[in-house]
């Protein structure tokens, strides 16, 4: 990305830097692509277990798919509609599209190199990805029979000529462009969809050809040969065109605009609107054409023209398209090529055989997943379902696992005649269908289900259990940065707080009342709630830090989060830096602030950790003149979180747990010099390295080895 010069011109009136200067901000889209570059570095890192390296490459592919479906499609619409409102960095839609193409092309070159390296390393470890043409005769014959009996019946060749309209190419489907040669006639083209929605992408075949198995069914995990589904199809493609000569086949893939337009006035209710929007998503306009590097220009032009895409949106890749499917390689039973497993921590008094309500009534708890076990929360809901004194259970659900133990526990609670309410966010992008299914299942069991809020996404992660105790009622409240998802809780690093504090419980109950009914409450003591109070409360905390620093010195702000792009908050952090407040940022993903600019952000430092677990926790720290403030919860500091979502942060009330969060979590990550990358003033990221005389420190490995320490701090 071209770095714009940072203006240091002063205002004639106040002699302060111009904090609206576009040169002070990093473009959101370029920041996202730099995140994918950092993820790719993990795939290129030979110190990583081999199959984990392949996992990181698959994540890169998945991320890039979503980037084009959501971000590029939106910018393309802005360009075509002549949108004049520019982001803080000042880049127009056309400028952004040009920069995105440059960055993506550089990424794809590195993807190609990475794929080549990984395939070679897999071969050295007894996992050979083989082209069909390189197999022996027995293997080829076996694959031909397998193709004819299983795959051939599912294939439909679609001709492309005057009497056959250009076929619809579904989003992210894998296809073969087939070149037909018929004597002296001009070349003709056909499209064959590779049925990777029916069959797995990878098959293993024994040397004698007697066994052909999907990767998931493979029992022997050494000295195996793997073939790609599209290679099997391509090698036998002539069966679809008898009597004709197939000149060549070339894989290609199309990405479509996946934004859902929700038309409530036409649908009548939110669920119907979401379902109709999901149908429209399938037919979104193409925004990217991916082609195999071997595809000739003539063939490429034919498909690009019919998809109404210019060359700016066509990308060549020398490797398998749809690299997200390489997740399937993680199914290979090779512990020596994967991260070592560990046992997730459960405090003794919160183990399944104990009365969890008795334990929580005595003290608050903070959890840090995946080092802590999410099973504690599952067990808590299960106990609530059985407990005759529990009156109600309320929760918000954003992304739910397929075989959800949380849903199972909520359904059990309904069987026990508990009052159960669940806000199921139907607008969770790419999880809409799954959430609709769970919403129906909960409704059928008698759970009071709310589908979300019409104009906002409910992104908060809150749970409340109301229990009859001692002649009154007691609230058991849970506020988290992570979803109620037992699967992601094993790979996402999230923070959560569990308390029976009555004041907090009352405020959480009021948030639920606003979600399920009507409420305009905007004053909270313990909670920060978007879009009502959260942004202003964060700004107030920054302004307070500046004021106290001017008075006492020692100003310190530390923010650990996923995204920081809100212009107003960035300007406030710049002002804090100018005032001398130390600002330390640990931002996993999108970040528009530029650290280290003399006179503006020289007191700002920023790192990003990409490692075994997805850093997903939000921890906000303000030294507050010695009366330290710590906030945890679901919200990032991005416009979508602050204006267009229901988010909840909690002011941690327990001094003991504040200390635990600061010392055993936040400071641990801020000390990482092994998996951390540091952001430079020009917007580039570099690997952090230990200072002279210091050992490398991997924060995630440290937390695995020391999991549970935050439960012991006094």
DSSP 560: E
513 Cβ contact partners less than 8 Å away, ≥ 6 residues apart: 519
Between the alpha carbon of residue 551 and those of residues 7, 99, 462, the distances in Å are 30, 45, 38
* Residue-level length of the chain: 714
CB distance 100 to 33 below 8 Å? yes
Of 34, 30, 25, the residue nearest 4 (C-alpha): 25
Catalytically annotated residue among 459, 549, 616, 711: 459
Q: At what angle do helices 375-386 and 405-415 cross, to 10 degrees?
A: 10
Pairing of strands 286-292, 245-256: antiparallel
Question: Cα separations (Å) of 330 from 49, 84, 334?
Answer: 11, 46, 9
Query: Is 694 an annotated catalytic residue?
Result: no
The Cα 212–Cα 147 span in angstroms is 11
| Cα 297 from Cα 286, distance rounded (Å) | 19
| 8 Å CB contact between 190 and 231 | no
Q: CA dist 272 to 279, 441, 536, 643, 646, Å?
A: 11, 16, 35, 25, 22
Structure tokens at 311: 């060359």
Contact 188, 180 (CB under 8 A): yes
**Calpha distance 164→174 (Å, rounded):** 21
- The number of C-alpha atoms within 13 Å of 454 and in the hemisphere containing its C-beta is 8
Give the Cα separation of 427 and 563 in Å (integer): 20
The Cα 433–Cα 258 span in angstroms is: 14
Whether residue 610 contacts residue 37, with contact meaning beta carbons closer than 8 Å, is answered with no
CA-closest candidate to residue 479, choices 659, 630, 586, 705: 630
Residues 34 and 685 sit within 8 Å (Cβ to Cβ): yes
How far is the C-alpha of 565 from the C-alpha of 543, rounded, in Å? 18
Q: Is the peptide bond before 531 cis (omega within 30 degrees of 0)?
A: yes
* Residues whose CB is less than 8 angstroms from the CB of residue 353 and which lie 6 or more positions away in sequence, other chains included: none
- Residue matched to tokens 């004639």: 12
**Axis crossing angle, helix 73-81 with helix 93-124, rounded to the nearest 10:** 160
Phi, psi of 45, deg, nearest 5: -80, 110
Q: What is the DSSP letter of 525?
A: S
Q: How is residue 17 annotated by DSSP?
A: B
Which residues on neighbouring strands pair with residue 204, listed in sequence order? 213, 226
Going 64 to 67 to 70 to 71, the CA torsion angle's sign is: negative
With CA atoms as reference, report the closest residue to 564 among 579, 548, 584, 544: 584
The string of DSSP codes covering 534-554 is HHHHHHHHHHHHHHHHHHHS-
Q: Which residues are catalytic?
A: 459
């Amino acid at each position: 990305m071209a770095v714009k010069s940072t203006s240091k011109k002063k205002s004639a009136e106040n002699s302060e830097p111009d904090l609206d200067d576009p040169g002070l901000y990093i473009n959101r889209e370029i920041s996202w692509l730099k995140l994918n570059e950092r993820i790719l570095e993990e795939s290129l890192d030979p110190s990583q277990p081999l199959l984990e390296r392949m996992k990181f490459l698959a994540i890169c592919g998945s991320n890039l798919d979503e980037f084009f479906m959501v971000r590029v499609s939106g910018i393309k619409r802005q360009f075509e509609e002549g949108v004049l409102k520019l982001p803080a960095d000042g880049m127009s839609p056309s400028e952004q599209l040009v920069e995105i193409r440059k960055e993506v092309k550089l990424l794809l070159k590195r993807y190609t190199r990475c794929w080549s390296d990984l395939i070679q390393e897999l071969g050295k470890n007894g996992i050979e990805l083989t082209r069909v043409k390189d197999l022996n005769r027995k293997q080829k014959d076996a694959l031909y029979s397998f193709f004819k009996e299983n795959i051939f019946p599912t294939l439909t060749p679609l001709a492309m000529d005057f009497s056959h309209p250009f076929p619809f190419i579904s989003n992210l489907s894998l296809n073969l462009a087939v070149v037909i040669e018929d004597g002296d006639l001009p070349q003709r083209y056909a499209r064959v969809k590779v049925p990777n929605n029916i069959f797995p992408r990878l098959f293993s075949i024994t040397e004698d050809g007697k066994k052909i198995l999907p990767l998931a069914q493979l029992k022997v995990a050494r000295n195996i040969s793997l073939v790609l589904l599209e290679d099997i199809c391509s090698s036998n493609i002539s069966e679809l065109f008898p009597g004709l000569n197939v000149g060549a086949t070339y894989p290609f893939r199309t990405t479509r605009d996946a934004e859902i337009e929700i038309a409530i006035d036409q649908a009548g209710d939110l669920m119907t609107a979401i379902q109709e929007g999901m149908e429209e998503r399938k037919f979104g306009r193409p925004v990217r054409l991916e082609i195999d590097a071997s595809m000739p220009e003539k063939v490429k032009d034919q498909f690009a023209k019919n998809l109404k895409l210019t060359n700016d949106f066509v990308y060549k890749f020398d490797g398998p398209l749809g690299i997200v499917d390489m997740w399937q390689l993680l199914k290979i039973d090779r512990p020596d090529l994967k991260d070592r497993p560990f046992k997730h921590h459960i405090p003794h008094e919160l183990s399944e055989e104990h009365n969890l309500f008795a334990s929580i009534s005595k003290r608050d708890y903070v959890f840090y997943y995946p080092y802590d076990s999410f099973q504690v929360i599952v067990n808590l809901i299960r106990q609530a379902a059985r407990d005759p004194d529990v009156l109600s259970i309320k929760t918000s659900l954003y992304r739910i696992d397929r075989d959800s133990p949380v849903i199972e526990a909520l359904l059990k609670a309904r069987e026990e005649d508990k009052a159960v309410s669940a806000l199921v966010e139907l607008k969770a992008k790419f999880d809409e269908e799954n959430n609709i299914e769970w919403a129906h299942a909960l409704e059928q069991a008698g759970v009071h289900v709310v589908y979300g809020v019409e104009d906002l996404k409910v992104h908060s992660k809150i749970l409340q259990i109301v229990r009859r105790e001692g002649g009154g009622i007691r609230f058991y409240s849970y506020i988290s940065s992570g979803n109620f998802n037992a699967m992601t809780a094993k790979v996402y690093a999230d923070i959560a707080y569990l308390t029976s504090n009555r004041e907090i419980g009352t405020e959480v109950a009021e948030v639920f009342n606003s979600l399920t009914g009507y409420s305009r409450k905007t004053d909270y003591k313990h909670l920060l709630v978007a879009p009502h109070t959260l942004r202003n409360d964060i700004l107030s905390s920054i302004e307070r830090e500046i004021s106290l620093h001017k008075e006492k010195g020692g100003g310190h702000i530390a923010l650990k989060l996923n995204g920081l792009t809100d212009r107003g908050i960035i300007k406030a952090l710049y002002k804090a830096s100018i005032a001398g407040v130390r600002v330390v940022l640990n931002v996993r993903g999108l970040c528009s602030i530029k650290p280290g600019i003399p006179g503006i952000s020289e007191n700002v430092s920023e790192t990003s950790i990409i490692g075994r677990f997805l850093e997903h926790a939000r921890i906000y720290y303000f030294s507050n003149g010695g009366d330290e403030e710590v906030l945890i919860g679901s919200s990032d500091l991005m416009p979508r979180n602050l204006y267009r979502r229901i988010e909840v942060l909690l002011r941690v009330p327990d001094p003991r747990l504040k200390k635990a969060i600061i010392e055993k979590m936040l400071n641990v990550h801020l000390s990482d010099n092994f998996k951390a990358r540091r952001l430079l003033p020009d917007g580039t990221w570099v690997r952090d390295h230990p200072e002279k005389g210091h050992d490398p420190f991997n924060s995630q490995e440290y937390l695995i080895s020391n999991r549970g320490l935050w439960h012991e701090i006094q």
